[in-house]
Amino acid sequence: MDEKDWNALRILYQEKQISRASERLYISQPALTYRIKNLEKEFDTKLFFKTKGGIEFTTEGLHLVEYSEEMINKLQKTKDYMLNMQNEVRGTLRLGVSSNFAQYKLPNLLKKFSTKYPNVQFNINTGWSTDIMNLLDSSTVQLGILRGNYEWYGKKELLHKEKLCLISKKEIDMEKLPELSFINYKTDESLKTLITGWWHDKYSEPPLIMMETDRLETCKEMVKNDLGIAIVPQICLQPSDNLQTYELFYTNGNPVFRYTWLMYNQDLLQLSTVRNFIDFLNETSNL
C-alpha cells in the first residue's frame, strides 16, 4: 500500500459510492476499481460489497480504512515536522473553523497572517462546531476554532466573546415578544441551547415561530424585510444592516454571551506554523 491507496480508501469510505469517490480523486471509475481490486488481491480478502444505495465495507475493509487514516495522519505530521526544521516559517496550517467565525472574522485574520508569513499555506475546514470537534479528535486539523462549550483534553483558550442580540426592522416592546412572529434558522446545538435557555428564563410562553430558514444570513434578510424578529450572535451584525438591535440579558441582569474557543494539542506547539499562528491570534486585538 502507498499514499494513493490510503487516500482512495478514505475517500471511498466517506462517499460510499465509486462514482463520487472517483470524481473527488480525479481518476476514472475503472482506475479506482482496478486499484481496489489490487488491494483485495494483496490482502486476499474482500474490502466491500455493493448495495442498492452504493457500497458497504466489510470488517476487513473497515480495518484497512482505519489503517489508512492512521498512515495519512502520520505522513502529514512527518511533513509538518520536516518543514518545521527549516529556520523559515513555512508549511501548511490545517484549521477547522466554526462557520460564523469563518464567514465574519477568519478572512481578515488570514490575510494579515499571510502578509506577515507569506510562505504559510492554509488548509481550511469550516462547519458547525460539532463537526470541527470531530476533526480535532481525529487530528485532521491542527487547530480548532469552535463556538460554544465543548470538552477537550488539550489546550483550550478563550478567543472571543460576544453578546446575543434580538433583531427587528422596527422598534418593538420586549415584553410582548411572545406575540411577535419569530424566525428560526439552522445552527449548532450549543447556540440553540443558549437561545432556548434565555427564552425560558424570560417568558412562560414559547416563541411564535412563523418561518424556518436554512442559514443565518437568510434569516437576517427576512428580518430586514420586516417579516419577523430573530435572535442572532453579535458577530453577524453590521452597521449597514440598518436593524433595531436589542442585547439580551437574563432576569438576573447578566448578559447572554456566546464564546469562541481556540483548541489544540500542546504537542503541536513544536511546529512553527502552529506556534506563530497562536501567537498571532493572541496578539491580534478586536477579534
**pLDDT reading at 285 higher than 60:** no
Q: Which of 17, 49, 81 represents a domain boundary (last residue)?
A: 81
Mind giving me the DSSP string for 47-110?
-EEE-SSSEEE-HHHHHHHHHHHHHHHHHHHHHHHHHHTSSS--EEEEEEEEHHHHHHTHHHHH
Do 269 and 138 share a domain, yes or no? yes
Tens of pLDDT along 80-105?
777 665 656 788 899 999 999 999 99
Do 69 and 208 share a domain, yes or no? no
Tens of pLDDT along 175-223?
999 999 999 999 988 899 999 999 999 999 999 999 999 999 999 999 9
11: containing domain = 3-81
- Among all chains, which residue has been given the C-alpha cell 466491500? 48
Q: What is the pTM of this model?
A: 0.69
Question: 78 pLDDT band (50/70/90 cuts)?
Answer: confident
Q: What is the pLDDT of residue 222?
A: 96
**pLDDT reading at 169 higher than 80:** yes
Q: What is the pLDDT of residue 286?
A: 59
Do 8 and 72 share a domain, yes or no? yes
Pairing of β 257-264 and β 155-168: antiparallel
Q: What is the pLDDT of residue 85?
A: 58
Specify the CATH number for the domain of residue 182: 3.40.190.290
Angle at 8 between CA 69 and CA 132, to 5 degrees: 45
Do 250 and 266 share a domain, yes or no? no
Percent of the chain with pLDDT over 70: 97
Mean predicted confidence (pLDDT) in 126-135: 92
- Bridge partner list, 49: 56
Do 116 and 241 share a domain, yes or no? no
Question: 265 pLDDT band (50/70/90 cuts)?
Answer: very high
Q: What is the mean pLDDT of the chain?
A: 91
CA-wise closest residue to 165 among 98, 251, 235, 102: 235
Q: How far apart are CA 29 and CA 113, in angstroms?
A: 40
Domain count, the chain: 3
